[in-house]
């Protein structure tokens, strides 16, 4: 459905995308996972015909994004990261406008957006500029989904949305998928990666890995521990100073550490003991399974 080979794009001397090649199958939810500035938006813009790549070629739905850009535009839906609505139009007017622009009507595809739109429907006669941030995003999502495209490009659609709405949004994506829509979605949230069929980890314009979420996690071969103690910042410094620790990152309420390959004898008990000796209180150490974020950290280190 989407295929691209050896895409390269520079902004002046700074490379934004570096030799990107991959394919997305029909009906797949494909996630681009990476931090800000990784090149996600540039990539989206190339695929949606908005900018030209310096090298390489890409097709969407079989159409070349350069030569047949008009055909591409007819069959894709795109929600840019800084998608802004018309602030001076009401909620209903915004939705209706985007529906008519895409040759459809709210009634026709109402079932696609019902779950999210119902939450803002009580305010449908309010100007979009007067909505709260989360509501604006919900309206933007509704506007992006109101036309039922063949391929849907969503650039960070859930940034700035509350967790409940994010969950609902992913529910919507699944429903769209069942209707045969191919979806390419980018997100900085690692927890959303697990909801995609396949993901690509992207950093500094390069793909680190492309696989299913399970495949990426399975590719993580090192032993991983989660460590918690009373003074977390001191703990981070101390862990990084330990000889057998290869990497250590702060992960929310605990630190994740990977061990060097030769450190086979280390167990969670021995780490705990060592930390106690260094003066840490209430130390909890558990050996854990890697998540997507661990894989990302690991891959970006290589």
Partner 1 sequence: MMFFISWRVMHREKQNKMSPFLSFVRKEFYHIFRDKTTTAILLALPVLMLMLFGYAITTEVKNSRVAVYDPSNDLFTRAVIEKLNASEYFTVVKMLKTSDEINEQFRKGEVKMVIAFSEKCYQNMLHTGTAQVALIVDGTDPNSSKAVVGYASAILAQQQQDMFQFTNIPFQVQPEIKLLYNPTMKGAYNFVPGVMGMILMLICAMMTSISIAKEKEMGTMEVLLVSPVKPSHIILAKTIPYFVLSLINLSTILLISVFILGVPVAGSLFWLLMLSLVYILVNLSLGLVISSVVDNQQTALLISGMVLMLPVIMLSGMMFPVENMPVFFQWISQVIPAKWYIIGVKKIMIKGLGFEAILPQLSVLLGMAILLIGVSIKKFRYRLE
Contacts with partner 1, residue ranges (CB under 8 A): 45, 48-52, 69, 73-74, 76-80, 82-86, 88-89, 93, 96-98, 100-105, 144
Closer Cβ to partner 1, 144 or 176, answer by number:
144
Nearest approach, Cβ of residue 298 and partner 1 (Å): 35
CA 102 to chain centre: 26
Closer Cβ to partner 1, 37 or 279, answer by number:
37
Nearest approach, Cβ of residue 209 and partner 1 (Å): 28
Closer Cβ to partner 1, 53 or 275, answer by number:
53
Closer Cβ to partner 1, 155 or 293, answer by number:
155
β-pair partners for 251:
254
Closer Cβ to partner 1, 48 or 137, answer by number:
48
Nearest approach, Cβ of residue 102 and partner 1 (Å): 6
Nearest approach, Cβ of residue 234 and partner 1 (Å): 44
Nearest approach, Cβ of residue 36 and partner 1 (Å): 17
Block residue for tokens 């057998």: 244
Nearest approach, Cβ of residue 96 and partner 1 (Å): 8
Closer Cβ to partner 1, 104 or 177, answer by number:
104
Nearest approach, Cβ of residue 92 and partner 1 (Å): 12
Closest by CA to 145, choosing from 78, 94, 192, is 78
Closer Cβ to partner 1, 34 or 149, answer by number:
149
């Amino acid at each position: 459905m989407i295929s691209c080979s050896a895409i390269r794009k520079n902004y002046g001397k700074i490379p934004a995308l570096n030799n990107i090649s991959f394919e997305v199958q029909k009906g797949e939810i494909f996630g681009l996972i990476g931090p800000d500035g990784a090149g996600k938006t540039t990539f989206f813009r190339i695929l949606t015909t908005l900018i030209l790549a310096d090298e390489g070629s890409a097709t969407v739905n079989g159409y070349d994004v350069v030569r047949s850009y008009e055909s591409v535009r007819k069959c894709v839906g795109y929600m840019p990261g800084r998608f802004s609505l018309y602030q001076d139009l009401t909620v209903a007017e915004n939705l209706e406008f985007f529906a008519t622009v895409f040759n459809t009507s709210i009634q026709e595809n109402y079932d696609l957006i019902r779950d999210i739109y119902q939450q803002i429907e009580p305010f449908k006669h309010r100007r979009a500029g007067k909505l709260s941030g989360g509501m604006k995003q919900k309206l933007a999502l509704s506007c992006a989904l109101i036309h039922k495209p063949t391929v849907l490009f969503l650039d960070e659609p859930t940034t700035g949305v509350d967790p409940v709405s994010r969950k609902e949004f992913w529910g919507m994506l699944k429903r769209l998928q069942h209707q045969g829509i191919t979806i390419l979605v980018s997100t900085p949230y690692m927890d959303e990666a697990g909801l995609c069929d396949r993901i690509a980890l992207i950093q500094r314009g390069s793909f680190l890995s492309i696989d299913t979420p399970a495949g990426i996690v399975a590719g993580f071969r090192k032993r991983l521990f989660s460590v918690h103690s009373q003074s977390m910042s001191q703990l981070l410094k101390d862990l990084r100073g330990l000889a057998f620790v290869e990497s250590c990152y702060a992960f929310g309420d605990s630190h994740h550490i990977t061990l060097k390959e030769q450190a086979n004898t280390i167990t969670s008990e021995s780490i705990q003991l060592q930390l106690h000796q260094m003066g840490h209180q209430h130390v909890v150490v558990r050996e854990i399974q890697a998540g997507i974020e661990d894989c990302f950290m690991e891959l970006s280190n290589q």
